């Protein structure tokens, strides 16, 4: 038990003391403020056509708990899915592998650490929801249980599931982080679609890890019975629309059924069971196939068998001559090849399919949906574009090289921008055929923005996690057509020239910060 406590404590403190966690916490506070929009807002977080709820304790508490559960279930996975990877990179895992702690106890400690990190963020949204009640409500009494129970029933079981899936994804998918994202978001999409399509009293609470189907059905039944309506669907999320006339209804919460509460306990048990199941397949940090092959060769040699290959010394005469080249082109070539060759080769089939589909899909679909998704699928390539030297512990050499700010960092940025533009070629060519130069400028500027922001956030935070979280939130906003996040210019704006100018200035800020901070780092190794 002391091993579990020590690992959980060390892992939790390491994560919560990072820039990624602090910035995520700040964003969470702001997003929690947006969970309860004012009556005059152009968006809603729980949309019932023609109706708006009064801001009593039940509505504010339940909606905040619902939105916190949904948001943390999505970007929370990005925040906590690198616990085992961190132990591999820092080689702490090699020390853990020599201890007597079992695979299950080690994975359980990572699972608990993941849960505590997510719980810390959920606690902030819980406190913020009570603050928003006093900000938005007028004349309704404050009922603490209407805030506490929704978070206990909705958020906690969902966070258990997210924390366990992060561990399972690392065990079975290893370093394939982008594949982890795809599988996880696909599963979340299926669950969300299932929630939206469920009918009242369908008895499918057991298939809903978020528990939100009961909430939406309760609100739907209340409106239908009170106003003699036939509303069939209640949508949740940040939904933007023009203000319309509405009727106000008072919703006092939902009654807890035994089957529903049992499903919450069942999902918590299922999460722990997933961790236990994955412990049978955990590699226990024996992840180097080349080292295992070398051990086998020398073992066969000790037994008298002739090894197939025996490592030989370095023959200097066989090495190519040293050619001195101080231009940026060799760096640019190497950085571009590193981007192309990173990740699983089979993953290129999906990238190629999306790339070709942008030639044939309707132009609006390609611009609004396919291109942002294709760019997000490269998040593992973008996120460490300027930090991989530090992760690989060769930054002492790269920072001390000849003019790193003139050769290395610009080569990394240029390679990333070139790769992003190549991915956007189908949409660019189609806009070129219709002579829509302004849309082409938007896309080109967007390609520059995702690379400069990756470099800037990576250099500032020293890792890739912060950028991965922010880029996911940005992509989520773009796919939901939230205007202020439209970095690719796929929507209509009242003043598109000014919006493009703001994005260009943002790129300039990212570039300046990247070069200034990297210059400081190079001078203060």
Intervals of the chain under pLDDT 50: 200-202, 290-295, 297-298, 305-310
Angstrom distances, CA of residue 256 to CA of 88, 145, 215, 224, 438? 44, 13, 10, 20, 54
- The DSSP-derived string for 76-116 is HHHHHTTHHHHHHHTTHHHHHHTSS--HHHHHHHHHHHHHH
Euclidean distance between CA atoms 184 and 292, whole angstroms: 31
Q: What is the pTM of this model?
A: 0.75
Tokens in use for 206? 């057991």
pLDDT at 290: 47
Q: Are 75 and 269 in contact (CB under 8 A)?
A: no
Euclidean distance between CA atoms 192 and 214, whole angstroms: 13
Count CB atoms within 10 A of the CB of residue 348.
12
In sequence order, the 6+-apart residues with CB closer than 8 A to the CB of 275 are: 104, 107, 108, 111, 164, 167, 168
Give the DSSP H or E segment for 121. Answer: helix 103-136
Count CB atoms within 10 A of the CB of residue 123.
13
User: What letter does residue 68 receive in the DSSP assignment?
Assistant: H
Length, in residues, of the chain: 525
Phi, psi of 112 (to 5 degrees): -65, -35
pLDDT at 298: 45
Q: What is the pLDDT of residues 322-355, one digit of tens each?
A: 777 778 888 899 889 988 888 778 888 889 999 9
Beta strands in 207-366, from DSSP E residues, in sequence order = 235-240, 247-249
pLDDT at 310: 46
Tokens in use for 426? 């189908």
Phi, psi of 236 (to 5 degrees): -130, 160
pLDDT at 497: 87
pLDDT at 359: 92
Question: What is the number of helices (H) and of strands (E) in the chain?
Answer: 24, 4
Q: What is the pLDDT of residues 73-117, one digit of tens each?
A: 888 888 888 888 888 877 888 888 888 888 898 899 999 999 999
Q: What residues pair up with 382 in beta bridges, in sequence order?
A: none
Tokens in use for 362? 């309707």
Tokens in use for 519? 């210059």
In sequence order, the 6+-apart residues with CB closer than 8 A to the CB of 323 are: none
pLDDT at 423: 94
Closest CA to 74 of 167, 166, 153, 176: 166
Closest CA to 220 of 210, 232, 204: 232
Domain boundaries, the chain: 2-279, 329-523
Q: In a 10 Å sphere around its CB, with 0-12 CB exposed, 13-18 middle and 19+ buried, how is residue 174 labelled?
A: middle
Euclidean distance between CA atoms 286 and 265, whole angstroms: 35
Mean pLDDT of all residues belonging to the chain: 82
Closest CA to 483 of 496, 498, 493, 497: 493
Q: Are 380 and 177 in contact (CB under 8 A)?
A: yes
Euclidean distance between CA atoms 462 and 386, whole angstroms: 9
- Side-chain-side CA neighbours of 316 within 13 Å: the count stands at 1
N-term to C-term CA, the chain: 40
Share of the chain above pLDDT 70, in %: 90
Residue linked to tokens 């007028």: 138
Task: Report angle CA 517, 518, 523 to the nearest 5 degrees.
Answer: 100
């Amino acid at each position: 038990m002391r091993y579990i406590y020590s690992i959980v404590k060390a892992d939790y403190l390491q994560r919560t003391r990072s820039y990624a966690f602090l910035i995520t916490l700040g964003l969470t506070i702001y997003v929690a403020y947006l969970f309860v929009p004012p009556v005059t807002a152009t968006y809603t977080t729980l949309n019932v056509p023609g109706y708006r709820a009064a801001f009593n304790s039940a509505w504010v508490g339940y909606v905040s708990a619902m939105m916190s559960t949904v948001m943390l279930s999505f970007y929370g996975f990005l925040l906590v899915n690198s616990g085992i990877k961190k132990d591999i990179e820092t080689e702490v895992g090699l020390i853990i592998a020599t201890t007597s702690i079992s695979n299950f106890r080690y994975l359980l400690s990572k699972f608990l650490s993941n849960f505590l990190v997510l719980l810390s963020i959920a606690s902030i949204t819980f406190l913020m929801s009570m603050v928003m009640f006093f900000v938005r409500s007028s004349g309704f009494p404050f009922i603490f249980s209407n805030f506490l129970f929704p978070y206990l029933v909705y958020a906690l079981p969902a966070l258990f599931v997210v924390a366990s899936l992060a561990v399972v994804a690392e065990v079975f998918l290893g370093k394939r982080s982008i594949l982890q994202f795809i599988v996880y978001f696909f599963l979340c999409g299926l669950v969300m679609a299932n929630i939206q399509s469920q009918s009242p009293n369908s008895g499918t609470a057991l298939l809903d890890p978020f528990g939100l189907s009961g909430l939406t059905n309760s609100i739907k039944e209340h409106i239908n019975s009170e106003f003699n309506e036939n509303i069939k669907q209640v949508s949740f999320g940040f939904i933007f629309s023009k203000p319309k006339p509405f009727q106000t209804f008072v919703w006092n919460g939902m009654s807890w059924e035994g089957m529903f509460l049992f499903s919450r306990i069942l999902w918590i048990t299922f999460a722990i069971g997933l961790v236990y199941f994955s412990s049978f397949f955990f590699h226990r940090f024996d992840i180097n196939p080349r080292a295992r092959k070398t051990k086998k060769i020398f073992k066969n040699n000790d037994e008298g068998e002739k090894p197939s290959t025996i490592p030989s010394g370095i023959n200097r005469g066989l090495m190519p001559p040293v050619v001195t080249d101080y231009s940026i082109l060799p760096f640019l070539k190497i950085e571009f090849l590193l981007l192309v060759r990173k990740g699983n080769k089979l993953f290129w089939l999906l990238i190629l399919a999306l790339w070709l589909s942008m030639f044939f899909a309707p132009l609006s679909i390609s611009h609004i949906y396919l291109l942002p998704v294709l760019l997000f699928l490269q998040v593992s390539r973008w996120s460490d574009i300027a930090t991989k030297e530090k992760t690989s512990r060769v930054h002492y050499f790269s920072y001390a090289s000849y003019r790193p700010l003139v050769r290395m960092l610009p080569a990394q940025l240029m390679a990333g921008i070139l790769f992003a533009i190549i991915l956007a070629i189908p949409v660019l060519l189609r806009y070129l055929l219709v002579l829509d130069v302004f849309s082409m400028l938007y896309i080109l500027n967007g390609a520059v923005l995702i690379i400069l922001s990756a470099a800037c956030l990576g250099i500032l935070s020293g890792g890739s996690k912060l950028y991965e979280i922010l880029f996911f939130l940005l992509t989520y906003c773009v796919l939901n057509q939230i205007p202020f996040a439209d970095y690719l210019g796929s929507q209509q704006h009242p003043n598109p020239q000014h919006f493009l100018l703001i994005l260009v200035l943002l790129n300039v800020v990212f570039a300046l910060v990247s070069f200034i901070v990297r210059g400081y780092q190079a001078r203060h190794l």
